A and B are shown apart, each in its own frame.
Chain A
Amino acid sequence: MVYFILAIVLFAILTFYRVMKGPSVPDRVAAMNAIGVMFLLVLVLLSLYFDRKVFLDVALVYGVFLFVNVLIMAKYFTKPEKGEVGD
């Protein structure tokens, strides 16, 4: 079960490449959403691995605030920058 946690962390590190080299802002927000859901799965698996029920509350609270992050970013990053060309 530890191998599954290690694999999901490795996939999150792979997805961080798109945050580093995304050409525009919505690419980076979508990659941030994907990394957040992957870490939520890691939190649930760690809660079952350590056999403590308290850590599931951490996963639930983190999921709610990830959604709030995405909503606020999509509402307030409105105007594009000067020389940005989407591809």
Chain B
Amino acid sequence: MINILVQLFVYVFLLTGLYFLLSTAVGMIRFPDLYTRLHAGSKCLMAGGISVLMGCIVMEGIGFVSLKIIVIIILLLITNPVAIHVIARLAENYHFVPKKIAKNELDK
């Protein structure tokens, strides 16, 4: 009984992670601007990665392996926002103009 419950939790976590990773790939392809692509590269990617690693922890149980996976989660939580922030600081050398979604109808 407890084995079936653990298996179900593992599948729920891994499917949630796969959904967020799919949304990362689609957002990287379909978004029109650099800054929106950075949104897809930071939030959806971190949600997918943490979900997949939590599924791995639930699958493995408490032990040495799960402690190593927790170390990998902490490393991702520290490094990925720093990386996205640094890429955004790189982009200000290029003088981008963000695309306007809606037209400005006030100045006529």
> In angstroms, how far is the closest chain B Cβ from the Cβ of A12?
8
User: Hey, which chain A residues are within 8 Å of B64, CB to CB?
Assistant: 53
Interchain CA distance A17-B5 in the complex, whole Å: 39
- Give the number of residues in B that approach A within 8 Å (Cβ atoms): 49
| Contacts A15-B28, A44-B72, A60-B75; A67 near B34 (Cβ below 8 A) | no
A45 touches B45 (CB 8 A): no
Q: Restricting to A40-87, which residues have a CB under 8 Å from any CB of B?
A: 40-41, 44-45, 48, 53, 56, 59-60, 63-64, 66-67, 70-71, 73-74, 77-80, 84, 86-87
A86 touches B96 (CB 8 A): yes
- Give the number of residues in A that approach B within 8 Å (Cβ atoms): 44
Contact of A30 among B26, B29, B41, B49 (CB under 8 A): B41
A-B contact pairs, 24 of them (CB 8 A): A4-B52, A7-B18, A24-B91, A24-B96, A27-B34, A30-B84, A31-B37, A33-B80, A33-B84, A37-B49, A40-B49, A41-B52, A41-B53, A44-B56, A45-B56, A59-B72, A67-B82, A67-B83, A70-B87, A74-B86, A80-B93, A86-B95, A87-B32, A87-B33
- Interface, chain B (partner A; CB < 8 A): 14, 17-18, 21-22, 24-26, 28-29, 32-34, 37-38, 41, 45, 48-49, 52-53, 56, 59-60, 64-65, 68-69, 71-72, 75-76, 79-80, 82-84, 86-91, 93-97, 99
